[in-house]
Amino acid sequence: MWSAEYSPSRFLHDVINEQKKAREEYYPTDEASDSRLSFLIDVNFITSTMQSSSAFQENMRNLDKWLKVLNEMLAKYSVPFWSPRYNARMIMDTSLPGNLAYIATMLYNPNNVSSMLSPWTTLVEIEVGKQLCAMLGFNTDPKNKEKPVAWGHITSGGSVANLESVWCVFQMLMNYAVYPLMRIYLRNAIGKTAPLSYIADTFNVELCTGQEKLFKDLSAWELLNLKPSTVLSIPQRLFDEYGISAEYLHSVTHAYSIHTVGKDTLEKQFDIVNPTQYLIGTTKHYSWPKAAGETITGIGSNNVIDVPVDNAARMDTSELDRLLAERLKNQQAVYAVVVIMGSTEQGAVDPLDKVVELRKEYERRGLTFVIHADAAWGGYFASMLCLPLPVGDKDTNPDPDNEFVPTLALQPYTETQIRHYGFCDSITIDPHKSGYIPYPAGGLCYRDERMRYLVTWKSPLVYTSDEEENIGVYGIEGSKPGAAPAAIWLSHSVIGLHKYGYGGLLGEATFTCTK
């Protein structure tokens, strides 16, 4: 039994009262200052005369009737996700802070597609993105110049996050800066006057092997195997070294971009016969072939190649090595290798550390690829390895003797893989899974914040760090609820993204599953 002071019903009562107060305090003198606005008697713009009418009374009886029907149907036919007796689906109870924040924010109906429609929840989503990036091991400190600054945002779910990551990688390899620029250089080669001809003999880039080469002399194979950091730095380098603005760069490359000429034209132009592919373990989520073959990119589901798994349902890296060797021999580029960090059916964690080592090895031989971690389930388990920020001399562990919450640590193998999250280029993480947040709340985190410019039609290629952020232009979604990031933010704030907070909850879940 909850105490009256901290009962959920009291918190819900506070939420409704604050909503009522906010409505009442918006231009509270309207009625007194202007008799023409006398209908604004209460917060719902419904006068006492209206409330006493038969039509109003009938509507309220209908509301009462059908709301009872709704509640009865929900109670009778919904999945009892709150009960440990229910194990038919991978769902669990949601956190009290998450539920309260979602309901409170939902009443204000913010739409995070635009900061004008969500001035506060936009900032909340940016903050939540930073929190998730930091937990996963990405750099979020702009003062740290040794690593790129990370960026994350909230999506409607892991499927959308996976789909966006495919679009991002596709854009980076097939469109962003590289191919349009190369097309201009090819025009130079046939003697035509081109806008950027004056940089052709001086603009070098670093290959994945570490060797430097003039950009205009790159082969299609070398273009397809530039590191993400190299590709993403091209627009800024052009500005810093040659004064080429983002607007001018866009104007001279737009005619050659994939948006204009299409994927087939670009591949034909560069004599790309073998299609670029994704490599992913056979425990993959259905969203991967869907993203490649049926939606945005048109890569083709046949080019999402299954990597066999071992008896523990983990990606077999010897098989991955074999597939990479074949593609190197045939000069068939690889968009990305996707590791599953907590497969939906088996809970298996792929050997990310070995994939990272394989990438280093193949880069020395001229082949590279993006590493994406599908950590929709396994992302929050990184909290089991995070220490809370110090708060004076106070013991931040609320249950040091595990009196209330029995926990179990991660296996050494799993801990090693989670500690390698920071080597990924992008990570899918779902707060509505192991983050105990109400649906819909997926997430996507980029190791390099510049990757988000690949998934917008308004691409600020060169930007300043103090410009107003409007996150709605990034990603594939339009309208999205501000209630989701608010729920994540409050849950993170109350529970804590560390070993004594979320780590404790997931440690308890690990203990229970093991028993």
DSSP reduced 3-state for 335: strand
| 313 and 265 co-located in one domain | no
Residue 56 is assigned to a structural domain of this protein: no
Residue 489 is assigned to a structural domain of this protein: yes
- The confidence score (pLDDT) of residue 310 equals 96
- The confidence score (pLDDT) of residue 44 equals 52
Question: Which tokens sit at 259?
Answer: 């948006």
| 156 and 230 co-located in one domain | no
| 188 and 293 co-located in one domain | no
| 309 and 261 co-located in one domain | no
The C-alpha atoms of residue 446 and residue 433 are separated, in whole angstroms, by: 19
The C-alpha atoms of residue 494 and residue 96 are separated, in whole angstroms, by: 10
The C-alpha atoms of residue 457 and residue 468 are separated, in whole angstroms, by: 17
- The confidence score (pLDDT) of residue 31 equals 58
| 340 and 424 co-located in one domain | yes
| 131 and 245 co-located in one domain | no
Phi, psi angle pair for 476, to nearest 5°? -105, -5
pLDDT digits (tens, 9 = 90+) for 52-88: 899 989 999 999 999 999 999 999 999 998 888 888 7
Which residues are within 8 A (CB) of 274 and not within 5 positions of it... i.e. 6 or more apart?
330, 331, 332, 333
| 265 and 287 co-located in one domain | no
Residue 125 is assigned to a structural domain of this protein: yes
Q: Which domain holds residue 294?
A: 115-168+275-386+405-514
Strand runs (DSSP E) across 118-269, as ranges? 151-155, 204-206, 212-214
DSSP-assigned beta bridge partners for residue 280 = 306, 338
- The confidence score (pLDDT) of residue 126 equals 95
**What does the angle CA 45 – CA 50 – CA 52 come to, to the nearest 5 degrees?**
135
Ranges of the chain whose pLDDT falls below 70: 1, 30-45, 175-177, 183-193, 293-296, 389-396, 398, 400-403, 457-469
Q: How many CB atoms sit inside 10 A of residue 485's CB? A: 31
The 10 Å CB-count burial string (b at 16+, else e) for 234-256 is bbebbbeeeebebeebeeebeeb
CATH number of the domain within which 413 lies: 3.40.640.10
Give this prediction's pTM.
Answer: 0.90
pLDDT digits (tens, 9 = 90+) for 144-195: 988 999 999 999 998 899 888 888 888 887 766 677 777 666 655 444 567 8
The C-alpha atoms of residue 339 and residue 371 are separated, in whole angstroms, by: 8
The C-alpha atoms of residue 389 and residue 129 are separated, in whole angstroms, by: 18
**What does the angle CA 35 – CA 37 – CA 38 come to, to the nearest 5 degrees?**
70
| 453 and 432 co-located in one domain | yes
- The confidence score (pLDDT) of residue 132 equals 97
Pairing mode, strands 370-374 and 442-446: unpaired
- The confidence score (pLDDT) of residue 51 equals 82
Q: Provide the residue type at 483 as one letter.
A: A
- The confidence score (pLDDT) of residue 24 equals 79
The C-alpha atoms of residue 437 and residue 215 are separated, in whole angstroms, by: 47
Pairing mode, strands 370-374 and 304-307: unpaired
Peptide bond preceding 289 in cis form (omega within 30 of 0) = no
The C-alpha atoms of residue 480 and residue 287 are separated, in whole angstroms, by: 20
The C-alpha atoms of residue 430 and residue 165 are separated, in whole angstroms, by: 14
The 10 Å CB-count burial string (b at 16+, else e) for 100-109 is bbbbbbbeee
SS (H, E, C) 237-262: HHHHHHCCCHHHHHHHHHHHCHHHHC
- The confidence score (pLDDT) of residue 3 equals 75
Q: Provide the residue type at 355 as one letter.
A: V
Residue 61 is assigned to a structural domain of this protein: no
Question: Which tokens sit at 187?
Answer: 């025009």
Please report the sign of the dihedral spanned by the C-alpha atoms of residue 385, residue 389, residue 391, residue 392.
Answer: positive
| 241 and 291 co-located in one domain | no
- The confidence score (pLDDT) of residue 342 equals 94
